[in-house]
A and B are shown apart, each in its own frame.
Chain A
Amino acid sequence: MSNKIQHFAAKLAQAEATRVGIDPITSTNPDITVNEAYHIQLENIKKKVKEGRKIVGKKIGLTSVAVQKLLGVNEPDYGHLLDTMVIENGGNISCETMIQPKVEGEIAFILKHDLKGPNVTVLDVLQATDYVVPALEIVDSRIQDWKIKLQDTVADNASSGFYVLGGKPTKITDINLELMGMALYQNGEVVNTGVGAAALGNPALCVAWLANRLADYDIPLKAGEVILSGALSGMVVAKPGDTFTARFAHLGQVSVNFK
C-alpha cells in the first residue's frame, strides 16, 4: 500500500511542478480508497513542510449538495492550506502558475481556540471562532480536465490552489451565517450568487465536520488557523485578464486579478 501512495504522491507533485495534468488516479486504480487518497495528500504535504512550507489552515470542499451529487458522494472533503497559497486582497495571480484555475466565493473562519474532534458541534465551532472574513478560493486540479472522482481530488489536496482573504474581520455573533448573501463578480458582472446555507446548510457545520473528520488522522484545528468553509456558489473558470470580486453582506469584499 505504501508503495502505491508514494507512487501517486510523486505523480501529483510532478504534475504540480510541470503544470501538466495527469490521468485520474481512479482510472488506472479504480480500487483506491478515500483513506488511501488522504494518505497520498498527507505524503505530499509532509514533503512540502519538510522543504520549509508552513501549514496555515485547512479548506473544506464538496460542501454543496449539487457537487456531492455530481461526484456521487455524501460527505465533503478537505485539504491543507500552505503559506505559499496566500494572495493579498486585490493581488495578482499568474495563470502560468496554474493548470486550469477556477474561482469560488467562501467564508473563512479564523479560530481563537483549538478544535479537536470527535464530537465537535456547531456550538463548539461558534465558540472557538475568533472572526470570519470573506474569501476567494482559487482551485486548480492536477488531474487532467478536472475529471475527478472523490479519491482523485482528495489525493490532490482537495484541488487547492491559492486563496485570498479580504473584507473586515467580523464577529460571528453579529451575523446570520445561513442567510448571509454573496455575489460573485467577474470583470464587474455578476456571475453567480449564493448564501451561507449553500455550504451544508451552515458554514459552521462544515467546520464541525472538518474537526471531526480530522480526528480520524489525529489532527486538530489550531487557534489562528484559517478554515475555508466551502463554496457558496458554483466554480467559475478564470482566464488571464479576469478580475474576480466577491461581495458579502456584512463582511465586505475580496478580489483578485488573473494575469
Chain B
Amino acid sequence: MAVEVFKDIADYLVAAEVEKREVVKVTNTMKPDLTVEEAYQVQELIVQRKVDEGHRIIGPKMGLTSKAKWDQMGVSEPIYGYVFDYMLVNDGGVLPFSDLIHPKVEAEIAFLIGEDIEGPGITGAQVLAKTQYVLPALEIIDSRYENFNFTLADVVADNASTSRVVFGNALRKPSEFELELIGATLSINGQIKELGAGAAVLGHPANAIAVLANMLARKGEKIKKGDIILSGALTSAVMLSIGDFVSGKFDGLGEVTFSVGE
C-alpha cells in the first residue's frame, strides 16, 4: 500500500522537475507523516526512474553538512542525493535559467573516489586514503518546493534539491592540502557574495564522505570507485538571476565559472 503512495510522490516530484514548476511540499497534505526513511525510499524510486530512462549516476552529493543548517532544520545528520550526467554544466559554460525553477549556487569540494568505501565505521582519514583526486565544484541547487520551504523528509524525497553541477577541470591529490583550511569565495559579476573554508563542512570535507559511507551501509550499499561526490557547501547558497557570471575560487584548487543564460 505504502509503495503506491511513494510512487505518487515520486511522480509528483519528477513532474515538477521536468515541467520546471514549484510544488507544495509533500508533508503539507500529500503525506504529512512522511518519515525520513520513507523519504529515502521515494528518492530511490526517482533515482531508479532516471537510471531506467538511460541517465548515468555521476555520484552521490551531500547536503545539510553545516551545524548552522542543522540548527535551522532541527536535525543532527546530513542528507544525500544523486547527481546525474544530464545535470553537468561545463566549466565556463552557460546554465539556461529557463531549465530550472529558482536556482541557487554553492561552492563545494568534490572527491573522485579511487577505491570502494564500505561502512560502517568509516572515518575521514580512511576516505582520504581512498580518494584519488579532489576538485573544485559549483553546485546549483533547485528545490522543487515553493520558496525552498521544506522539512527534512521533503528535501530527502526531492533528491536533496540536486539540480546542476559545474566541476572544475583541475584534479589534485588530496594529500597536497589541508582540505579543512582551503578557502573559497563565491562571486557574482565580480562581487564576492559568500565565502568559507573547508572546515565549514562537518569540520573537514572528508568527514561528510565518511558519514555518507556509514549512511549507505545501513542499506547495504557503499561508495563506489569512480564516484565523484560533492561533499557539501563551504559557503551559503546564493540566488541566481539571468545574466549572472558566477565564479568560485578555491585556494590551490583553482577557479570554476559559469554564466546564467535565458
Given contacts A195-B251, A197-B192, A183 and B199 within 8 Å (CB-CB): yes
What are the residues of chain A within 8 A of B180 when measuring CB–CB? 181, 183, 247
CB of B251 within 8 A of CB of A197, answer no
C-beta contact mask, B196-209 vs A, less than 8 Å → 1, else 0? 11111001000000
CB of A193 within 8 A of CB of B185, answer no
Nearest CB in chain B: distance from A136 CB, A: 16
B52 at the interface (CB under 8 A from A): no
A180 at the interface (CB under 8 A from B): yes
Nearest CB in chain A: distance from B175 CB, A: 15
What are the residues of chain A within 8 A of B192 when measuring CB–CB? 197, 201
B122 at the interface (CB under 8 A from A): no
CA distance A53 to B195 in the complex (A): 38
B182 at the interface (CB under 8 A from A): yes
Given contacts A197-B192, A197-B195, A179 and B250 within 8 Å (CB-CB): yes
B178 at the interface (CB under 8 A from A): yes
Nearest CB in chain A: distance from B118 CB, A: 27
CB of B199 within 8 A of CB of A190, answer yes
Besides A179-B249, A195-B185, A247-B199, 15 new A-B residue pairs in contact (Cβ under 8 A), listed by A number: A179-B185, A181-B180, A181-B251, A183-B180, A183-B197, A189-B67, A190-B199, A193-B198, A195-B183, A195-B184, A195-B251, A197-B183, A197-B195, A247-B181, A249-B197
Q: List 29 A-B contacts (CB under 8 A).
A: A179-B185, A179-B249, A181-B180, A181-B184, A181-B197, A181-B198, A181-B199, A181-B251, A182-B197, A183-B180, A183-B198, A183-B200, A189-B67, A190-B200, A190-B203, A192-B200, A193-B197, A193-B199, A195-B196, A197-B183, A197-B192, A197-B195, A198-B195, A201-B192, A247-B180, A248-B181, A249-B181, A249-B182, A249-B197
Interface residues of B (CB under 8 A from A): 67, 178, 180-185, 192, 195-200, 203, 234, 249-252
For B181, B192, B198, which residue has the most chain A Cβ atoms within 10 angstroms?
A: B181
What are the residues of chain A within 8 A of B203 when measuring CB–CB? 189-190
What are the residues of chain B within 8 A of A193 when measuring CB–CB? 196-200, 234
Nearest CB in chain B: distance from A234 CB, A: 11
What are the residues of chain B within 8 A of A178 when measuring CB–CB? 183, 185, 249
Q: A249 touches which one: B183, B195, B249 (CB < 8 A)?
A: B183
CA distance A63 to B252 in the complex (A): 25
What are the residues of chain A within 8 A of B234 when measuring CB–CB? 193
